[in-house]
Amino acid sequence: MQKELEKVKRELKIRNFSQKTIKSYVYGLKEYFTFKQSGLEKLDEENIKNFLLYAEEKAISVQTRNLYLNAIKFYYRDVAKSFTPIQIRIAKRNKFLPVVLSRNEIKKIIEVTTNNKHKLLLSLAYGSGLRVSEIINLKIQDLDLLELTIHIRQAKGKKDRITIMPEKLKIDLQNLIAGKDKNDYIFSSERGGKLTERTAQKVFANSLKKANIKKNATFHSLRHSFATHLLENGVDVRYVQELLGHQNIRTTQIYTQVTNPRLKKIKSPL
């Protein structure tokens, strides 16, 4: 098994897949190989179906099961060099609307955050629509304080993009980065280096609890709220797509379901 997993890892690295995808694919294949036990290089479509059914019965999410299938397809197509296509379609994903915080809730979350660096972290994540992985990796050279823009480097899908920076955070950011090198992280940890994703998520969770907000929100809800509030302000969905770095506009259009003003104007008959 380990030999085959190393082959997969090497092939993914050669093709410049992200470290996160490599880790996910290797994990998924390890689960499948453990289930299959023998004859790993021999494609057995019935066995793959049985594995996916086994995963479903273990209540493994649709997203994870689809990742397993993609990893298995990659292995047989690009590593084992099987010429037989796998005729299994990905599972239909459940549709959930994103958890969006109101402007007032965002304000409360920021206000109850007493640590100035943490307050700025949450404010910038919301005000620029950043993923948690993006904000912890921000370096001083990525900020353009004159143009009020942020250069997000090699984000999801290994793509760069430019997003906006709130003008009201300009002075706080200037104070935070004063005297630092351009290659330093903006939100460095107390031990040096960047903050971990877990730390940033914990900062948000603590502030959410302190603000007494009962929504099932996560750090990513700041990004959802950024997109929704821009659409409410009348910004064209195509510009929101560009700021978020979505490859497909359909991903961005889900926010139009959250912010549909016509639905909100309808009064209940009760």
Annotated catalytic, 223? yes
- Our answer to whether residue 92 is catalytic in this structure is no
The verdict on 74 and 107 lying in the same domain is: no
Of 45, 79, 113, the last residue of a domain is 79
CATH classification of the domain holding 12: 1.10.150.130
Say what the pLDDT of residue 188 is: 86
Query: Residue 189 and residue 93: Cα distance in Å, rounded?
Result: 37
Q: Among this protein's residues, is 224 annotated catalytic?
A: no
Domain shared by 201 and 239, yes or no: yes
* Rounded-to-integer distance, Cα 96 and Cα 73, Å: 27
Residue 110: name the closest of 211, 27, 32, 257 by CA. 211
Judge whether 255 counts as a catalytic residue.
Answer: yes
Distance of alpha carbon 142 from alpha carbon 138, whole angstroms: 6
Lookup: tokens for 143? 């900020």
Count the alpha carbons within 13 Å of 38 in the hemisphere toward its beta carbon: 0
Question: In the chain, how many domains are there?
Answer: 2
CB-count burial class (<10 Å; 0-12, 13-18, 19+) for 146? exposed
Indicate whether 120 and 48 sit together in one domain: no
pLDDT for 27 equals 94
Question: Exactly one of 65, 108, 118, 246 is catalytic; which is it?
Answer: 246
Based on the fold, state whether residues 43 and 119 are members of the same structural domain. Answer: no
Query: What is the tally of helices (H) and strands (E) in the chain?
Result: 13, 3
Among 194, 223, 224, 229, the active-site one is: 223
Q: Would residue 95 count as lying in a domain?
A: no
Residue 92: what residue type? Answer: K
Residue 156 a catalytic site member: yes
Check if 117 is active-site.
Answer: no
Residue 52 lies in a domain: yes
Amino acid 28: pLDDT: 93
Beta strands in the chain (DSSP E): 143-144, 149-152, 161-164
Q: Say if CB 93 and CB 62 are below 8 A apart.
A: yes
Are 37 and 128 members of one domain?
no
**Where residue 137 sits, what CATH number does that domain have?**
1.10.443.10
Residues of the chain with pLDDT below 70 are 94, 261
Q: CA–CA separation, 27 vs 19, rounded Å?
A: 12
Mark whether 108 and 69 lie in a shared domain.
Answer: no
Quickly tell me which residue has 């107390």 as its tokens.
190
For residues 190-227, one letter each, b for 16 or more C-beta atoms within 10 angstroms of the residue's C-beta and e for the rest, the string is eeeebbeeebbeebbeebbeebebeeebebbbbbbbbb
Amino acid at 263: L
In which domain, by residue range, is 233 found?
103-263
Residue type, 220: H
Q: What is the pLDDT of residue 192?
A: 74
For residue 132 the two structure tokens come to 């948690």
**What does the pLDDT read at residue 263?**
72
